[in-house]
Amino acid sequence: MTGVGDEITRIHRAEWARVVATLARRLGDLDIAEEMAAEAFAIAVERWPVDGVPPNPGGWLTTTAYHKAVDRLRREIRREEKHREALMLFDTPEPLGVIDDDRLRLVFTCCHPALAVEARVALTLRMVGGLTVPEIARAFLVEEAAMGQRITRAKAKIKAARIPYGVPFREDLPARVTGVLAVLYLIFNEGYLASNPGREPIRGELTAEAIRLTRLVRDLLPADGEVAGLLALMLLTEARRAARVSSSGELVTLGEQDRGAWNRELIAEGHALVRARLAAGQAPGRYQILAAINAVHTDARDLRDTDWSQVVALYDQLVRLDPSPIVRLNRAIAVAELDGPQVALAEVDTLPLEGYHPFHATRADLLRRLGRSAQARAAYDRAIELAGNTAETAYLIRRRDQLAGACSWWPPPG
């Protein structure tokens, strides 16, 4: 029973987005698609431990969910004429147009310009990324109830405005790509920096899916610099995944990672994308700058070889585009390497990030470096309280407990 339960959990992660996307395309209603997908998985939980997992679980789930949807619509549609029209609509294949991947199609359709950017991102994370409302709320640093309302309002607006779940025309793609890239980046980050306590620290199925979808977007928009930048950023980050968690399940930061375990093929591809964007001679956007920062880190043979002046210069560019507190926090970590922890701490202490655990972890290690152990311990305690998964918690506890020993700078997370 436990083995089948684990397999159902794995299949849910792998197939949820595909099932919802296919149903949304065929039924034209996100609420029904989500409800029927959930019902199909509930049926699987009942049947598969007895009957066994089918050879094609994704197909079984999609067919089951679709049949449940048709049964529901039959009950709701009273007049025979409307019933026939509905069945004709469902049974008519929809042309795929410029996007032949259901999940990517759903990303683009959920990122409709009629919705606010944050609503587009939140809705698509829920429907395509399969993230829970609490996970999305943590990604946005907002309360769970507020995020639930945001997603509900987005669905309601789609219904009220009669936004179709059809294929976006090619000329529509550039207008929607900003929201699409934001979605894909957050899906990747949720996989690489899993924020749900008790879950494994890295969710490889999410990072792999985000990279796959970003490659498809690049095929659609090969001249878009930000698409190339995001793909490079993902590849250079994913390249370090194998070295990011120790055999004991503890977070391994960038400075402590075994760089020999990094994926050199992904690094080479990411560096090539960054170089191509530099050669284009166009002003870089946010993702291109982040990719360039990661290129500097992955080009260094050791943390001490890192060109911190270049990293700070790149963050200066990024702050001009995105002066968010999180960007400024990451810049401060690099500043500490150039100008010392006191200068960095003065910047960090101005940031409104009380509920963000890396803020407290950064303060803790800056305070440690300054020899202010009591304050460092308090900051570690707050970071541990807010940490998103067991790997981060284990790392922070070890660092806190080492306060009595030698001081050492906490390198930026890997």
Q: What is the pLDDT of residue 194?
A: 57
Q: Each residue of 10-42: pLDDT tens digit?
A: 888 778 888 888 888 788 778 888 889 889 989
Read off the pLDDT of each residue in 202-209 and give the average, rounded to a whole number: 79
| Listed range (1-5, 77-81, 222-226) with the worst mean pLDDT | 77-81
- The contacts found for 309-313 with CB under 8 angstroms, 24 or more apart, are 309/338, 312/338
Q: Each residue of 274-309: pLDDT tens digit?
A: 999 999 989 999 999 999 999 999 999 998 999 999
User: Is residue 221 within 8 Å of 173, Cβ to Cβ?
Assistant: yes
Q: Which of 74-88, 90-104, 321-335 has the highest mean pLDDT?
A: 321-335
* Average of per-residue pLDDT values in the chain: 85
Q: Which of 56-70, 80-94, 214-228, 322-336 has the highest mean pLDDT?
A: 322-336
pLDDT greater than 70 at residue 77 = no
In a domain, 333, yes or no: no
Read off the pLDDT of each residue in 68-96 and give the average, rounded to a whole number: 58
User: Is residue 394 within 8 Å of 251, Cβ to Cβ?
Assistant: yes
pTM for the model stands at 0.78
Q: Each residue of 109-138: pLDDT tens digit?
A: 788 888 887 888 788 878 877 778 887 887
| Domain end call among 63, 94, 125 | 94
In a domain, 130, yes or no: yes
What is the domain count for the chain?
A: 4
Q: What is the pLDDT of residue 407?
A: 42
Type of residue at 81: E
Q: Each residue of 347-386: pLDDT tens digit?
A: 999 999 999 999 999 999 999 999 999 999 999 999 999 9
Same domain, yes or no: 101 and 166: yes
Angle at 340 between CA 405 and CA 300, to 5 degrees: 85
Same domain, yes or no: 31 and 128: no
User: Is residue 127 within 8 Å of 110, Cβ to Cβ?
Assistant: yes
Same domain, yes or no: 40 and 72: yes
| Domain end call among 170, 204, 222 | 222
Same domain, yes or no: 116 and 207: yes
Same domain, yes or no: 76 and 51: yes
Same domain, yes or no: 358 and 371: yes
Same domain, yes or no: 294 and 229: yes
Same domain, yes or no: 213 and 101: yes
Same domain, yes or no: 218 and 281: no
How far CA 204 is from CA of 10, 200, 234, 362, in Å, comes to 11, 10, 12, 26
- In 3D space, the residue among 202, 180, 6, 201 whose CA is nearest the CA of residue 99 turns out to be 180
Cα atoms in the 13 Å half-sphere on the side-chain side of 86: 18
Same domain, yes or no: 13 and 68: yes
In a domain, 184, yes or no: yes
